[in-house]
């Protein structure tokens, strides 16, 4: 039998894609878990693999650790976000169950604080990985790949902007709304300062054109200044393709900023439904850009941009690919690390990009004009 993998949140936008990509791989014995059996049965039928098992499982239930242990997982992939405000009970339950753990978290505090489980994970010989997604797994792999081009790296600015027709779930919407208008601690000009989510916006170049993006709070803002100590500024922005939705979210951020809305994230399901009324507009093309500025080995100004173009609605394959690639490498016995850590340094950019094969995902590197 293959590696016994439990996917939590299997019916979500990301979990369902992970399930589909692992289901027909002989290296895995797959079990799909979620709160609603009917949705799990529908997903299994869509995947079309009779070997896949399903199990009702609620990570918030008091008996979750015992229920998980009864499944005897060897790897748990946690895709049941949003992770903002979650604790580490799922990861701890994996250690108790004798399993490795990988999640797709993008919550800044959740991922940056994950190493508090490191001592126990190392002692018991398990690998617990947080943030095996677009950030920080892919974003850090890009920086690691381009870093040798620089004699001195001063600035990292990266951005994501999905196509308007790209599927979105409540967890993704809640994640965005959770920091919209709220203080975001940024490393800028060699010191910490405060911006506000979504409000500090700019036009960002992507291979398909320019789109507006605004400040978002992600683990990279905390992790990158420590991982790349020479860097003076680290900024991340995200945006929406349609200007109407972009500026509407900006307006909600203003209301949060001035205390007129207290908890925007709790309105995520309603706001997602509103946004879906505009799904016929825009496109299914989105992208990611990671820009590095500094000087080359001869002291000359250098500005590089790694870009990703996602078409045909394949944008959601980007955030799930690092977790899929890591699962495959674990199944092949190619990962020797143990401990609890953010997903940085475990996967190379080449390995992640190879995982894009079969999807409408293109990447490249552009040398940008150097501003004087």
Considering only CA atoms, which of 347, 344, 326, 351 is closest in space to residue 3?
Answer: 326
Could you tell me if 33 and 8 are in contact, meaning their C-beta atoms sit under 8 angstroms apart? yes
Compute the C-alpha angle 243/106/165, nearest 5°. Answer: 35
- Locate tokens 């979620």: which residue? 34
Residue 237, SS3 per DSSP: strand
Integer angstrom CA distances of residue 10 from 15, 19, 207, 216, 323: 4, 7, 32, 26, 13
CA dihedral angle for residue 327, residue 332, residue 333, residue 336, rounded to 10 degrees: -40
Could you tell me if 321 and 347 are in contact, meaning their C-beta atoms sit under 8 angstroms apart? no
**244 token code pair:** 């109407």
Kindly report the pTM of this predicted structure.
0.93
Q: Is the dihedral of CA 284, 290, 293, 295 positive or negative?
A: negative
Would you state the pLDDT for residue 262? 81
Would you state the pLDDT for residue 205? 95
Give yes or no for residue 372 having a pLDDT over 70: no
- Give residue-wise pLDDT tens across range 102-122: 999 999 999 999 999 999 999
Would you state the pLDDT for residue 85? 79
């Amino acid at each position: 039998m293959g590696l016994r993998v439990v996917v939590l949140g299997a019916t979500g936008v990301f979990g369902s894609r992970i399930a589909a990509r692992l289901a027909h791989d002989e290296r895995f014995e797959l079990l799909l878990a979620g709160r609603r059996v009917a949705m799990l049965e529908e997903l299994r039928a869509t995947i079309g693999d009779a070997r896949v098992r399903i199990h009702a499982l609620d990570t918030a239930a008091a008996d979750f650790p015992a229920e998980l242990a009864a499944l005897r997982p060897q790897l748990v992939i946690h895709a049941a976000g949003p992770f903002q405000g979650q604790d580490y009970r799922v990861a701890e339950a994996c250690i108790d169950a004798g399993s490795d753990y990988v999640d797709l978290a993008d919550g800044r505090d959740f991922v940056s604080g994950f190493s508090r489980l490191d001592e126990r994970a190392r002692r018991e010989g398990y690998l617990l990985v947080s943030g095996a997604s677009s950030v920080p797994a892919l974003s850090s792999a890009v920086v690691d790949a381009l870093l040798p081009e620089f004699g001195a790296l001063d600035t990292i600015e990266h951005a994501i902007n999905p196509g308007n027709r790209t599927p979105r779930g409540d967890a993704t919407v809640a994640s965005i709304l959770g920091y919209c208008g709220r203080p975001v601690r940024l490393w800028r000009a060699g010191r910490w300062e405060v911006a506000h989510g979504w409000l500090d916006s700019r036009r960002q170049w992507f291979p398909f054109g320019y789109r507006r993006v605004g400040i978002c709070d992600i683990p990279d803002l905390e992790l990158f200044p420590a991982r790349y100590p020479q860097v003076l500024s680290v900024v991340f922005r995200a945006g929406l393709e349609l200007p109407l939705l972009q500026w509407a979210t900006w307006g909600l951020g203003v209301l949060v900023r001035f205390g007129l809305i207290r908890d925007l994230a709790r309105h995520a399901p309603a706001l997602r439904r509103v946004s879906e009324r505009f799904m016929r507009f825009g496109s299914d093309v989105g992208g990611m850009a990671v820009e590095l500025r500094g000087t080359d080995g001869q002291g000359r100004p250098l500005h590089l941009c790694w870009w990703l173009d996602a078409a045909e609605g394949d944008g959601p394959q980007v955030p799930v690919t690092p977790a899929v690639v890591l699962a495959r490498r674990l199944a092949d016995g190619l990962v020797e690390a143990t401990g609890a850590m953010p997903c940085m340094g475990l996967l190379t950019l080449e390995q992640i990009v190879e995982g894009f094969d079969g999807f409408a995902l293109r990447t490249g590197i552009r040398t940008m004009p150097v501003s004087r």
